[in-house]
Amino acid sequence: MQNKPLSFSVDIKLNKRRNLANFDYSIVLTVLLLGLFGLAMIYSATGSYALVLRQAIYFFLGVILMIIAAMSNFRKMEPIYLNAVWIGFFLLVLVLVLPNSGTTNRWINLGFIGFQPSELMRFLLPISAAAYLTRNPQIKLSDWIIVLITTLVAFILVFLQPDFGTSAIVLLSGIMPIILSGLPWRYIIYSFLGGIGTLPFLWMSLMDYQKERIYTFISPETDALGSGWNIAQSKIAIGSGQFFGKGYMEGSQSQLDFIPESHTDFIFAVIVEEFGFLGALGLFLLYAFLIHRLLYVAKRSNSKFAKLVSATLSIILAAYITLNISMVVGIFPVVGMPLPFISQGGTALVVNMITIGIILSLRRTT
């Protein structure tokens, strides 16, 4: 037997004494490690203290919010979680209404600080969805439909910005609670087929630069100095790192600016160039361990809400990690997704930290 009554009773005792004691410290440690490593890599990629400092401030903010979230009692937070999605919708509409610069409309600029509401949405939506679906002991079909509609609206709002990558994530973040909460398989299969049916329409609504990225992915050689150049240079950086890497700050591809977006989307290439296969393996293990620990929360929790939230957020996080890395190593189209906890970018970092905090809070049993 895996769980002995004795150890369980110890657990309860500790819980009674202090909530903090129930944290999975290995998760906290992993996240802190990733975040600090990210700061170091941003410095290597940019050589700019200012950027690192900015990111460090976000990181610090993220740590505080993570701790606060982790210490919260999710059972008491449920009404807030239920309505959190409205904040997301408000901001998404706001970002579309506000005057914008350039071709995309992703940022809300508060003068001193800017953030991306879509990044917020992919975290608020699953929490609200999970809260909504579990508010009654039994889930009705209408509950699922309402969540689905909400999700599609959120998806369209992000898609309109337009942000292909994040809108897909938002879609996933809303659909996951529906599926995980027990939607019968036949509905899942119907919706999946229906989704495929809409692909041609989706393709037609893509912006040119988005189509370009997919073309480039399919055949990178056609445009060696255009978008294919990014992937080619990224692969050169990764390959040239070989087994041990070239050493911190010694990657010629990153130091001489051959890697595009080296401090954001392509930071994984910098890591492998400078720390080699060994470094990549270490990072893979850290991420795998993190996802494993986060899912463990879903496995062990006795609350349906907790299970839905932790499982969905873990999958979203896993999606980010996987899609970013597979894009950088050239086996997936360039979709423009940051590498969680490492890529430069304040909103994503803070949101990810809060995500961790909330999942940590779900471990509470009372």
Partner 1 sequence: MNNFSRESLNTGKEYSRALFFLSPFIFLFSISLFQVLNLTLLQGDKYQTIAESNRIYQKSINPVRGFIYDRKGTLLAENIVQRDLYVTPAYIKDSSKTILTLSNLLNMPYELLEKNFSRGVKKAKKFDSFPLVKALNEEQIAKAKVNLDSISGIEVKATLKRYVLHEETLAHILGYVGDISFDDISRNKLLAEFQNTQIGKTGIEKDYDLILRGKPGIQTQERDVKGKLVRVLDTLGAEDGKDIYLSIDQELQEHLFKLFENRRGALVALEPKTGLVRALISSPSFNPNILNSILDTDEVESLFSNKESPIFNRAVSGQYPPASTLKPFVGLAAIENEIISWDKKIKDDGKFYVEGDPRPYRGWKENGHGRVDMRKAIAESSDVYFYTIAYDLTLSGIRPMLDSFGFGKKTGLTNFEANGLLPDKKWKLGYKGDFWFKGDTINLGIGQGYILATPLQLAMAYSGLANRGVIYEPQFIQPKDETSFEPKKAAEIQLSDKKAWEKMEQALVDVISARNGTAHKVFDANSAVIAGKTGTAQIKSILPGKEYDAIRKNPALRDHALFVGYGPVEDPKLVVAVVIENGESGSEVAAPIVKSAINFYAGGFNAE
CB 322 within 8 A of CB 251: no
**Does 298 sit near partner 1 (CB under 8 A)?**
yes
The least CB distance from residue 71 to partner 1, in Å, is: 22
Closest CA relative to residue 91, chosen from 148, 165, 146, 158? 158
**Does 66 sit near partner 1 (CB under 8 A)?**
no
Give the CA distances from residue 261 to residues 104, 221, 231, 267, in Å, rounded to whole numbers and listed in that order. 17, 20, 11, 7
Interacting span for partner 1 (CB under 8 A) from 37-45, 62-70, 206-214, 282-290: 282-290
Residue in 238, 335, 342, 348 binding partner 1, rule: CB under 8 A: 238
Give the CA distances from residue 36 to residues 11, 31, 163, 300, in Å, rounded to whole numbers and listed in that order. 31, 9, 28, 29
DSSP string, 168-233: HHHHHHHHHHHHHTT--HHHHHHHHHHHHHHHHHHHHTS-HHHHHHHHHHH-GGGGTTTHHHHHHH
Total residues binding partner 1 (CB under 8 A): 58
The least CB distance from residue 191 to partner 1, in Å, is: 13
Interacting span for partner 1 (CB under 8 A) from 36-44, 194-202, 315-323, 350-358: 315-323
Number of helices (H), then strands (E), belonging to the chain: the values are 14, 2
Residue in 47, 182, 195, 226 binding partner 1, rule: CB under 8 A: 182
Residue in 31, 176, 231, 353 binding partner 1, rule: CB under 8 A: 176
The least CB distance from residue 270 to partner 1, in Å, is: 13
Here's the x/- map for partner 1, 253-272, by CB under 8 A: it reads as x--xxx-------------x
Closest CA relative to residue 104, chosen from 166, 153, 168, 160? 160
- CB atoms inside a 10 Å sphere around CB 220: 19
**Does 288 sit near partner 1 (CB under 8 A)?**
yes
Residue in 325, 339, 348, 356 binding partner 1, rule: CB under 8 A: 325
Residue 203 CB-density burial (10 A; 0-12 exposed, 13-18 middle, 19+ buried): exposed
Residue in 308, 335, 337, 362 binding partner 1, rule: CB under 8 A: 308
The least CB distance from residue 79 to partner 1, in Å, is: 22
Interacting span for partner 1 (CB under 8 A) from 52-60, 96-104, 147-155, 326-334: 326-334
Here's the x/- map for partner 1, 8-47, by CB under 8 A: it reads as x---------------------------------------
**Does 187 sit near partner 1 (CB under 8 A)?**
no
* CA dist., res. 109 & res. 98, Å (int): 10
* CA dist., res. 232 & res. 254, Å (int): 13
The least CB distance from residue 200 to partner 1, in Å, is: 22
